[in-house]
Chains A and B, each alone.
Chain A
Amino acid sequence: MPGHLYILVSLALFFIGTTGVLLRRNALFVLMSVELQLGAGSLALLTFARGLGDQKGHVVAFFVMALAAAEAAVGLAIVVSVYRTRRQIDLDGINELRN
């Protein structure tokens, strides 16, 4: 398939992810939407790697995957920690740094 269709899918996926980040209040859903955005970036990387005939895009997509794992681990740990002290993970309710 021509590559611009893949890029269009990637753009649409990034738009969906951004909408989720902006509209959802639950921190878990925001993290899931961030994962969607990272996946959209990986898809664009692989498409351009295919178009250019270069495998370096694959390596960068691999690094994005490892980065997403690290981000999910730290992000979910922060959410669990906040839930333990606040009894809520509503992002509108968490608006002060003071414990």
Chain B
Amino acid sequence: MNYVLAGPSLLDKIAFVVLAGSVLGFALLTITRKGAVAALMALIGAFCAMAGLYATLSAHFLAVLQVLVYAGAIMVLFIFAVMILNRDEEHPIALRGLFVRAAGVLATGYLFYRLAWLVVRERRTDVFSTAITLPIPEYGNVASVGRLLFSDFLFPFEAISLLLLVAVVAGVLLARPPRPARSSQSTDGGGAT
């Protein structure tokens, strides 16, 4: 693996810097916005930029799926939820229990620091070498990943389809308005406490 000799071209560097910068910038916007719609739009931008990063890793199938599934379907779900419960909050950042939360963020930051330090120290290992030559010519396209999906991973694929079905049924059951008169079911939120 000789990525030192065959280094990335200038266009690769520009694409990586732009895409990684927009991923992190949009992610920061997502968690700092007050309005839910603005945060959602930033999240869509982050996912589209992440699809670009996938494409630079020559994972073309996953890049297309990222745009279709994440930036498309899941975000539509979020937009519908925002439409139902659109309220502006006065204090987006919690003030109560701030000390505990700050401790949690500091602990996560320390974890990030140690992992990043480890990654930078071990950056010469073969795992991190994204060589210019691909392992196989059709690496990461639909046919190649799909063949793997339907041969080695057929059982997990069917299991995940069952999981999606269960999730759809659960979503319908949970979000349905509570029926007024069913004496056997007391879990429906009929009466206010």
Contacts and interface: CB of A to CB of B under 8 A. Distances in A.
A19 B92 contact: no
Interface in B51-79: 53-54, 56-59, 61-62, 65-66, 69-70, 73-74, 77-78
A59 B149 contact: yes
Contact of A99 (B3, B66, B189): B189
Contact of B127 (A13, A36, A52, A63): A52
Contacts of A51: 126-130
Interface string A72-87: 1110111111011100
Nearest to A3: B128
A17 B27 contact: yes
A83 B136 CA distance: 51
Given A3-B129, A13-B23, A59 B59 contact: no
A25 B136 CA distance: 47
A54 B152 CA distance: 13
Contacts of A16: 24, 27-28, 31
Contact of A35 (B73, B74, B82): B74
Contacts of B16: 1, 5
Nearest to B189: A85
Say whether chain A's binding surface is mostly helix, strand, loop, or mixed: helix
B135 to A, nearest CB: 3
A67 B74 CA distance: 11
A15 B112 contact: yes
Contacts of B177: 84
Nearest to B145: A58
Contacts of A55: 139-140, 144-145, 148
Interface string B86-111: 01010111101100010011001100
A84 B13 CA distance: 49
B85 A89 contact: yes
B175 A77 contact: yes
A7 B115 CA distance: 10
B187 interface: yes
Nearest to A82: B189
A22 B102 CA distance: 8
B13 to A, nearest CB: 7
Contacts of B193: 98-99
7 contacts: A24-B94, A36-B46, A50-B58, A51-B130, A65-B66, A77-B172, A77-B173
Given A46-B59, A92-B96, 11 more contacts: A6-B57, A11-B112, A11-B115, A12-B112, A24-B92, A46-B54, A59-B148, A61-B62, A63-B156, A63-B160, A66-B69
